[in-house]
Structure 1
């Protein structure tokens, strides 16, 4: 009797496995769905323990069927990680992970959460008018050492909002990883969050509309670049020993509050006026774009660059016509 039950469940398992592979091949279920095995493998122990508890009356083939059903259900309910297959890096020294998230036609807003260890990064907004199907594109490169965990990237869309999350904090000790991330400017970013250890690089948001930007790092050397995109942005930045470069167009209204022990700033030389505890640009009230910064720094240097506001496409056309 037990052998008959085992044979039945073996057949069911093979049928289900074949259905899953067909779903993978025809796009109903992404191939990266199998990555969820690493999240759910403890279920195998639980199901195997239940089989032993019932004096092995439950065959192992039934355990595999239950695990496969649980794996599919988990992926359908919680979504699939948006990961391309890691491929060997240059000269076989590491891995490169492709990062991609589509832009649903109904999506108008997005949130981004980056949890990083030691990393060199480049995060920037790009012109999405010519690729309206893509919200995020990028790569993450890391060395192939086994004592660090693999990075994780996932996204989930609910209504008009897509939530993006990238996590490589398990690799906090490497310091050699490289992140390149491009964000489409076709949505409004209600929140962008960066939590990192030792980090070096740039975040260019000059094309993006961001409501809340939260940055928390250890020792860092980073550049934050903003544009005159309209609206209001609130930046909360907390860092240890750091070198911070802020690039902001002259037309943008600025209000900056500093706490901690920033050893050097050049705000006065860039036309900002100290009012109570805030450094404020003279054009703050009438500016169409306003950025409020609350910066907490253990030690370091803050450099502010006020650049000319780039012309938009209409203004460029008018300027060219005037010259002709």
Structure 2
């Protein structure tokens, strides 16, 4: 009996904690949807309590309800419904290469003639011509601003870019700002301010996949609080890449193009791979860090690592890393 009362008290206490977490926006109100799907447990609990009333096993009835609430809250916190799926929205942003340019309609004036005018007809002396002009973008600057999440880059597109995002919370829905000057464009992809960071990145489920065109020259700017990124840039013309992050797990393959790479991060795990036709200089400014640069490929001069193939390489890259506690590995790989 004492155990039964204790479990009932804990159940009411747990319900109060859930409501408090809802009010403080620590836990979504949608948690109750998962809990309501477990209503058959209430019937099971009542049946068990009736069968074993006054007996030693009567406490199992309230225990069933208590454990059901724990399971429902845990599943909701992890973003899982009881259909076995993580609830996510998907949105794709994209731009074409050819952008229509507005142009003032031209006029066509009828030639002067000495023929006497026909009084029965009134000739049109000016005709408006509909004209359209298209400008193909040759260079683009793309900024990605998001609080926390995973970014993958490696697949190509015939468009200027595609950004496919999957997110659990509405605040992470991607938005775009676009501008163009001549054959160059500026793109900013971002989301609204969010209050869900306290939940941890594993619960947020915010994933972006960026696709680029292999004929366009790009500058990429990534700014985030915490990022897990896997970027294979070897097939793209990336002139400049900047990553600013509080905490980061970066897996990066350098482009086969003359480039500058800058990574500014706090706690970091950085794995950089270089195609063998790319020469590199690497400057690392880190606090407590582990650096792994193969001595067969790099020579250290004046605090900077220089690849042994730098002077004869087809392409060159300059890598600047500024981070706190870090694990940094730079190596050469074969690109198929």
- TM-score, normalisation: structure 2: 0.58
More helix by share: 1
- Given the alignment of the two structures, is residue 225 of structure 1 paired with residue 253 of structure 2, yes or no? yes
Aligned equivalents of 2:294, 2:181: Cα separation in 1: 45
| Counterparts in 2 of 1:140 and 1:199: CA distance versus 1, 3 Å | same
SS of structure 2 residue aligned to 1:198: strand
Q: CA deviation at 1:226?
A: 1.7
Instruction: Answer whether contact 1:117 1:169 (CA < 8 A) is retained.
Output: no
Quickly say closer, same or farther: Cα 1:170–1:280, change in 2 above 3 A: same
- Which residue matches 1:244? 270
- CA shift, 1:181, in A, is 1.1
Report which stretch shifted further, 285-294 or 100-109.
Answer: 100-109
CA 1:227–1:212 in 2, change beyond 3 Å: closer, same or farther? closer
Instruction: For 1:289-300, list aligned pairs within 5 A.
Output: 289-300=315-326
- Map Cα deviations across residues 9-56 of structure 1 (whole Å, 9 max, x no partner): xxxxxxxxxxxxxxxxxxxxxxxxxxxxxxxxxxxxxxxxxxxxxxxx
Per the alignment, residue 210 of structure 2 pairs with 181
Q: 2:328 aligns with which of 291, 296, 302?
A: 302
Structure of larger gyration radius: 2
- Looking at structure 1, the residues matched to 306 and 94 of structure 2 have their Cα atoms a distance apart, in angstroms, of 39
Counterpart Cα distance in 2 of 1:150 and 1:271:
43
Counterpart pick for 1:144 among 169, 191, 194: 169
Residue 91 of structure 1: how far off its partner (Å): 5.6
Cα contact 2:141–2:187 (8 A) shared by 1: yes
1:115 and 2:172 are equivalent in the alignment? no
1:201 aligns with 2:226: no
Is the Cα contact below 8 Å between 1:97 and 1:139 reproduced in 2? yes
Aligned partner of residue 263 in structure 2, secondary structure: strand
Instruction: Tell me the equivalent position of 2:97.
Output: 103
Quote the offset at 1:99 in angstroms.
1.4
Moved over 6 A (4+): none
Secondary structure of 1:197's partner? Answer: strand
Where in structure 2 are there 5+ consecutive unaligned residues?
A: 1-83, 99-134
Whether the aligned pair in 1 keeps the contact of 2:289 and 2:324 (CA below 8 Å) is no
Segments of structure 1 that go 5 or more residues without pairing to the other structure are 1-89, 311-324
Partner of 1:135: 160
Compute the displacement of 1:265 (Å).
1.5
2:172 and 2:268 map into 1 onto residues whose CA distance is 27
After superposition, give the CA deviation of every residue in 1:210-254 in whole Å (9 maximum; x if it has no partner): 22211111111111112323xx21111100111011011122101
Q: SS state of the match for residue 225, structure 2? A: coil
Distance in 2 separating the partners of 1:257 and 1:144: 38
Say whether 1:285 aligns with 2:311.
yes
TM-score (norm 1): 0.60
The residue number in structure 1 matching 2:30 is none
In structure 1, what is the equivalent of residue 241 of structure 2?
213
Aligned CA-pair RMSD: 2.1
